[in-house]
Structure 1
Amino acid sequence: MTAAATPKGAKRRLALVDAAADLLVEGGFDAVRHRAVAAKAGVPLASTTYYFASLDDLIAAAVERCGIRELRVMQARIDEVAHHTRDVESTVELIVDMLVGVFDEGEGGREQLVNRYERFVAFARHPELRAVQRGLRVELDALIVSVLQRSGREVHRDGLRRLVYVVDGAVVGALSEGDADPKALAREMLLQVIDRVAPLATA
């Protein structure tokens, strides 16, 4: 049995992953360093190399943890939605909240939003993160479909992809232009296309 498989080892490894995930959200990839992670987790510096083969291995685990946290928040929001046809504005607002997240107003929340989209870019640059991304994407897609169905809408794979790209593209564009409210632009853009990509279900 390895140390990481013991209760103490598993707890310490989890603490390191949680700390790395927090740093990733707060400061992006540059913030995730062995010393910073160990300090935040409250464990010896050597623990980061003992429980993880490399910094990339630790970062991959942190990315996955961030994704799981976001999925749990999304699921909690969905559980509040009853099975009934919602008005289009409410549906759009819920989907944008799911895809973009709920952040505090001000520079701190904006920085977290930038860091979140930097993670998406990293999937393209780092092959070791792609498997993590694929797994998270499957779960995210299922949640979005669930929201649309509970809102009396239907969507196929192509429509789902377009829906996600519209929201993500609007947010990235707004961030790059210094827009004070990227989510507002995402809602506006999605309102324009939702009836095409996810029309109301026919009786």
Structure 2
Amino acid sequence: MLSHDRARRGPADPQRRERVIAATEEVLLAHGLEGLTHRAVAKQADVPLGSTTYYFATLGDLRHAALQRVVRRYVGWMHGWAEELGRPSPEELATALTDLIVMAHRDHRHQVVVDFELSVAAMRHPELRELATVYTTATVAMLSRMTSPATALALTAAMDGLSMLGLVSPEPLAPEQIRGAFLAILRADAAAGTGDQ
């Protein structure tokens, strides 16, 4: 049975490349960038070592493929989130963004860590930068449907900062702290809009 399964996973296996990318994410989740090696990915994917280097000659190639996968998933998820939210009031938007951060840290903490690690890697690896900036551009674009572009950028920066702070703080940030930060930005935007009228 094992040998038959191995044969089925041979060179003609159309899913092998995707399995290697998924395994790269899993290795990153478990061990971070420092633990990312072709050998670790091959073991996680249950493929020969040569399969990982066949599809991804360098660790940079592996990182890039994993980041593409993470970014696609994030953009798709955010589109669904924004569509469901519609046109919220500032208070509703502050609450929704707070819930988003709390949920991410509670249910997907390891994924959030990987997202930040891959983004940080882009600082030293120019080939990752275009993909890494998709997080910001996609989030700003979606929030711009609900508020001004400048406020959407400020909210996106606050999301990143609060999320990072939540990851490194000894105690989780209280939801009311997070919501207060978002409300401060949204109320400043409302005040500026009133002054312009």
TM-score range, shorter chain: 0.7 to 0.9
The structure whose Rg is larger is 2
d(CA) in 1 for partners of 2:60 and 2:75?
23
Give the partner amino acid of 1:169. G
Q: How does 1:107-186 map to 2 (within 5 A)?
A: 109-146=108-145, 148=146, 154-156=147-149, 158-181=150-173, 185-186=177-178
Aligned residues: 185
Question: Aligned AA for 2:148?
Answer: V
The percent identity for this pair of structures is 30
Change (3 A) 1:169 1:104: closer
Choose 190-199 or 36-45, whichever is displaced more: 190-199
Partner SS for 1:102: helix
> Structure 2 length normalisation: TM-score?
0.75
What residue number does 1:35 align with?
A: 39
In the alignment, structure 1 residue 193 sits paired with structure 2 residue 185 = yes
| Unaligned ranges ≥5, structure 2 | 1-10
1:65 to 64, 69, 76: 69
Cα 1:159–1:90 shift into 2, 3 Å: closer
Larger mean CA deviation between 50-59 and 71-80 belongs to 71-80
**What 5-or-longer segments of structure 1 have no aligned partner?**
1-6, 149-153
Aligned partners of 1:164 and 1:130: how far apart in 2?
17
| 1:186 match: secondary structure | helix
Deviation at 1:14, TM superposition (A): 1.4
State the partner residue of 1:21.
Answer: 25
> Alpha carbons of 1:199 and 1:34: their partners in 2 closer, same or farther (altered >3 Å)?
farther
Q: CA RMSD in A?
A: 3.2
Q: CA deviation at 1:19?
A: 1.6
What is the TM-score normalised by the length of structure 1? Answer: 0.73
